Structure 1
Amino acid sequence: MDYRVLNLGDRAITFEFGSVISRCVNHHVLGVHANLKESISNGLVKGIIESVPTFRSLTVHFDPTVLFPEEVVNLVAPYIEEGNSDLNATTKWIFPVCYGDQYAPDLKEVAERTGLTKDEVISIHQETVYDVFMLGFLPGFAFMGLLDERLRLPRRSQPRTAVPKGSLAIADQLTAVYPSESPGGWHLIGRMPIDLFDAKRKEPVLLKAGDQVCFRRVSKQEFESIQQALAMGEYDYSSIRQEKEVA
């Protein structure tokens, strides 16, 4: 796969693949990242500290006292050629979402602008299994796609100063869940009770790049029941988690 090399200061190099968001490119990036991460853990690539994947690029941080930039490029090149050969196992999550009016302030507008009913918007959104392309913006904020073309709208012209935690949102080709309250300009079509980020957990961030996510509709009563179980520390995360193989 073709790529270009960009120097990111004196301690990192970005390897950029393509110019659009696509599953093919992202899977390649995640495969390179997975293989390189394993080699770093095993001490096979001295001087490389870590790699950070995005939609279509991989940034490699290195120790400039150990490696020159051109040495980093030469070390990473074989991993790029190998691609996603080791990207086999992933986790699939099935997240409960309530689409009630109090949790979905933009659902009616999304339906009107797409020429669909509210139930059709919900149904179409739930039919897709989404890839977690990358994490960013906030701890635990996962950029997921690709959104069905029938639901694609640009971001809101006027962003909100405070989007509630757990809000399920869409914008352009992507969907996401806000892991904490924050400003945001995406369209809010529901809310999820599951905590995508919890500093008290052994692994604070629930999702990882390469995971897959789908959503199921729940009632307000079930939503509140899950919230209560989470607050009491009694929620069983295994009920929404499946280990699977990527073809």
Structure 2
Amino acid sequence: MTVSAVTGTAEKPIFLAAGDAALVVQFGEAIDSAINQRVNDLARALRSLALVGVVDLVPTFRSLMIHYDPLRTDQAQLIAAVEGNLHVQTASSERRRSWIIPSCYEGECAPDLEAVARQAGLSPAEVIAAHSGVDFDVYMMGFMPGFPYMASMPPALRVPRLTEPRVRVPVRSVSIAAEITVVYAIETPGGLSLIGRTPVPFFDLRRDPPVLLESGDQVRFEAISLAEYTALEADYAAHTKTLEFTWIDA
């Protein structure tokens, strides 16, 4: 069959074949909360159906990738299932999880804070206030286990990526570039500006589930001191403390 690759509309998405075992359902071209909500609503609806042959569902900023077993289903059946559930809202789409993430914006936890402040024409305190003063939406998980892409950044803090990426970014670094903020769930190379660090593990194999956040969550960062960070880091490492979320209306 031929999979549609024409421009999608607010009502009808684009269907794109991704090899012989995946189908992409694309809703738009921008980082947009309404588009991302449609992606997450569809993902929840399809998960609730437990469709035969579907192996995995991967929500992104603007599309949903459906991985499937081509010996058990095909693109025609999946497209029919998608089209039948485009306007379905599950109970979970009516509410979502909200997290308060402690973040230290001091000293070695924030090696790029001064540079970001200079680029933005702000003081370091104003950068901290701006970053910790808004609610971020988790648009997608990717790049590595537990790595959340969160938007949208206050316009004043939309600095470019680093011209030379770091070979090593410390685990749990709170970082920014353009419209997004992220937390590095494990130590890895990276090209974003490091303005803080959280003591909260975003990926922990001893936890069930091991990944803290999921697409559709809301996050607000809370500034803490270096002393508070050190104490909380020890508590989380010893598994004597867990971070709780609250439910909010979607």
Q: TM-score, normalised by structure 1?
A: 0.93
More displaced, 190-199 or 226-235?
Answer: 226-235
Determine whether 1:215 maps to 2:221. yes
Q: Report the Cα offset of residue 62 of structure 1.
A: 2.0
* 1:137-176 paired onto structure 2 within 5 Å: 137-176=143-182
Q: Secondary structure of 1:243's match?
A: strand
Q: Report the Cα offset of residue 85 of structure 1.
A: 7.7
Q: Secondary structure of 1:208's match?
A: coil
Structure 1 residues 86 and 227: alpha-carbon distance in aligned structure 2, compared to 1, 3 A threshold: closer
* 1:123-138 paired onto structure 2 within 5 Å: 123-138=129-144
Determine whether 1:7 maps to 2:17. yes
**CA–CA separation in structure 2 for the residues paired with 1:59 and 1:66:** 17
* 1:166-245 paired onto structure 2 within 5 Å: 166-238=172-244, 241-245=245-249
**CA–CA separation in structure 2 for the residues paired with 1:71 and 1:243:** 34
Identity %: 36
Q: Report the Cα offset of residue 50 of structure 1.
A: 2.9
**CA–CA separation in structure 1 for the residues paired with 2:236 and 2:74:** 49
Determine whether 1:78 maps to 2:84. yes
**CA–CA separation in structure 2 for the residues paired with 1:243 and 1:60:** 27
**CA–CA separation in structure 1 for the residues paired with 2:188 and 2:82:** 36
Number of matched pairs = 240
* Residue ranges of structure 1 left out of the alignment (5+ in a row): none
Contact 1:32 1:84 in 2 (8 A): no
* Residue ranges of structure 2 left out of the alignment (5+ in a row): 1-10
Q: TM-score, normalised by structure 2?
A: 0.92
RMSD of equivalent CA atoms = 1.4
**CA–CA separation in structure 2 for the residues paired with 1:84 and 1:174:** 27
* 1:82-93 paired onto structure 2 within 5 Å: 82=88, 87-93=93-99
